[in-house]
Structure 1
Amino acid sequence: MQHDERAGVLVATAGFVLLSVGDAIWKFGVEEWAPTAMAATRYLLGALGLAAILALREGRAGFRVARPGVLLLRSVGVTLATSCFVTALRFIPLVEVTALAFVSPIFTALLAGAFLREPIGRTTWLATLGGFAGVLIILRPSFSDLGPVAFLPLASAFGMSMLVIGNRLSAHSGSPLAMQFQVAAPAALMLWLVAIGGDVSGLPFLAIGTPGILVLAICLIIACMATVAHLLVYLGTVRAGAASVAPMTYVQIIVAGVLGWAVFGSRPDLVALLGIAVIVGSGMFLWHSRAPVALQDEAA
């Protein structure tokens, strides 16, 4: 039993590492093409691949939608999270974007009180204050240079929280594969609408233009890596349990820091490290004090 738990934690951790590697690959691509168009292409390719596998494994039954309203919530969450995250990568160091996105568990705890009627106790409020103190520490130097763009990772975190709440509301309404497809397909459409809106805005970095082969290859690689990563997190969570796997999510910040330094030459200063430590500490405090959200739902 203990062997299974350790193996499950290792499998899930491999999934989290793969997600961070994918984020680093994103950062290469957003310098070459509009980040919103890259996100839209990634989800379109992912949706097509998932549709083919789902059709072979489950047939028509796999495409049935049980709760359209909840599906819309999940899809909007993915659209907001992805478009804001990849756009932020163009302007902000990888480790800082990743760390700020980890405010998501705090947003989730607050949204759970509104949507799921879960009590919001003193622990949640203390974690919220701590998490946003960390956010302010990280953003203090960034905001003066970047302006509102510095808040994109927070918008991404909020979108991810919407997805988690939607996943919990739609629990057991389909297989993990079907749940992934039902998010990816509408999110691809929404992301293309966002990309077109960005192109129309006239902002140079959002101009769609014609992508190169390398950019399209990056989108395909990220789509495959993300699908495999989510599967690993799901399998690891099934074997080890959400409580054992949840703390391993923070390995993404470590991997992002190493890759950001080694690949992009962006070493976080002491102020940024302090902010990251406060966010991670707040998240761990929240996780330790209450039952964590099941990661098999989040993986969808």
Structure 2
Amino acid sequence: MTPEERSGLAYAVTGFAVLSAGDAVIKSMAGDWPAHAVAALRFSLGAAGLSVLLWRAEGPRAFVPANWALQGARGACLAIASLSFFSAIYIMPLAEAMAIAFLAPVLTQVLAGLLLGEEVRARVYLVSLVALAGVAIILRPNLAALGWGAVLPLISATFFALLMITNRLSAGQGSALSMQVFVAGICAPILVVAAFAMKASGVAALDFGWPSWDVVVRCAVVAVTASTAHWLAFIGTERAGAAKVAPAIYVQMIVAVTLGWLFFDERPDNLTLVGAALIIAAGLVLWRDGAQRRPGPARGMARGA
């Protein structure tokens, strides 16, 4: 590995670690403000900040997408995926929710065949079954304790996979920054409407008032760190190439386990670690297979904007 590739890998690892640290900040707000309100504020702040950057870099014309429907689909997928994931880490250990979220790259391979007509080999379906077995192992105690709330990370992974599909369809329709603005700019109002609809439902658990200053600060921190993480991963991919950078995404699992243990006293049991290992192994097998057959740009998971 050349020095340029080593530095690129370091950038990517740092970016993915920062992204997972942001998830821990989100979890720290459990009990302070509901997840749907946090998601709405976090993405509103992110969309506003990214829009300022895009305006200064490319001007007002950059805000007009080539395909409104496609960008709307991207924003809706991100909104559902993020709301589900935020809600999941409120009620589940961070490492468990993160491990199930890693099902998204595997689901993307299957959905690419169903929705894009791409060839899907039998091996992909076999690996997908292994990953689903890992999900079942991780969910085994949570279904009894949390009921259907335990499937929130699975819903999140499904819509992140759909986001990846729509990202593929959006390739070449704008700069990387404009693509972030489109998805965040559509995701944010969807989350705001959803948050106020939940507030108006009359369900006490869904009600919320004005956030405290520290909640606003933490939401702003997550918005900034998420955008920084994506920038670091992008720089890493440019320097080292997609094939070398893609597996670095799994550093998020190490960070999630560490932060969950240190700050939330969440210690995953051995079976949870086995389930996580199965999901990660499935993702790595598909990455290796794809890297050998189709070298090119990364198609990995990017959570948030």
TM-score by length of 1: 0.96
Distance 1:283 1:202 in 2: 42
Aligned to 2:113: 113
Aligned to 1:227: 227
Distance 1:23 1:297 in 2: 18
Following superposition, the deviation at residue 296 of structure 1 comes to 7.0
Equivalent residue letter for 1:137: I
Aligned to 2:289: 289
Distance 1:186 1:236 in 2: 27
Distance 2:288 2:298 in 1: 15
Following superposition, the deviation at residue 47 of structure 1 comes to 0.8
Aligned to 1:280: 280
- Residues 54 and 178 in structure 2, CA contact (< 8 A), matched pair in contact too: yes
Mapping for residues 81-160 of structure 1, pairs under 5 Å: 81-160=81-160
Following superposition, the deviation at residue 30 of structure 1 comes to 2.7
- Could you list the per-position Cα deviations for residues 156-195 of structure 1 after superposition, in whole angstroms to 9, with x for gaps in the alignment? 1111111111111011111111010001111000111221
Aligned to 2:37: 37
Pair 210,112 (structure 1): closer, same or farther in 2 beyond 3 Å: same
Matched, 1:70 2:67: no
Equivalent residue letter for 2:161: S
Q: Give unmatched runs, 5+ long, in structure 2.
A: none
Following superposition, the deviation at residue 201 of structure 1 comes to 3.4
Q: SS of 1:268's equivalent?
A: coil
Distance 1:297 1:286 in 2: 11
Following superposition, the deviation at residue 135 of structure 1 comes to 0.4
Distance 2:88 2:123 in 1: 30
Equivalent residue letter for 1:207: D
Pair 114,296 (structure 1): closer, same or farther in 2 beyond 3 Å: closer
CA RMSD of aligned residues (A): 1.6
Distance 2:99 2:300 in 1: 22
TM-score by length of 2: 0.94
Aligned residues: 300
The percentage of aligned residue pairs carrying the same residue is 42
Aligned to 2:217: 217
Distance 1:223 1:43 in 2: 7
- Residues 105 and 300 in structure 2, CA contact (< 8 A), matched pair in contact too: no
- Residues 135 and 279 in structure 2, CA contact (< 8 A), matched pair in contact too: yes
Aligned to 2:260: 260
Higher mean C-alpha displacement, 111-120 vs 221-230: 111-120
- Could you list the per-position Cα deviations for residues 202-244 of structure 1 after superposition, in whole angstroms to 9, with x for gaps in the alignment? 4444222221111111111100000100111111111111111
- Residues 35 and 206 in structure 1, CA contact (< 8 A), matched pair in contact too: no
- Residues 88 and 149 in structure 1, CA contact (< 8 A), matched pair in contact too: yes
Following superposition, the deviation at residue 70 of structure 1 comes to 1.4
- Residues 8 and 235 in structure 1, CA contact (< 8 A), matched pair in contact too: yes
Q: SS of 1:142's equivalent?
A: helix
- Could you list the per-position Cα deviations for residues 42-96 of structure 1 after superposition, in whole angstroms to 9, with x for gaps in the alignment? 1111111111111111002211201112112211110011100001111100000
Aligned to 1:178: 178
Distance 1:253 1:127 in 2: 20
Higher mean C-alpha displacement, 109-118 vs 168-177: 109-118
Distance 2:301 2:57 in 1: 22
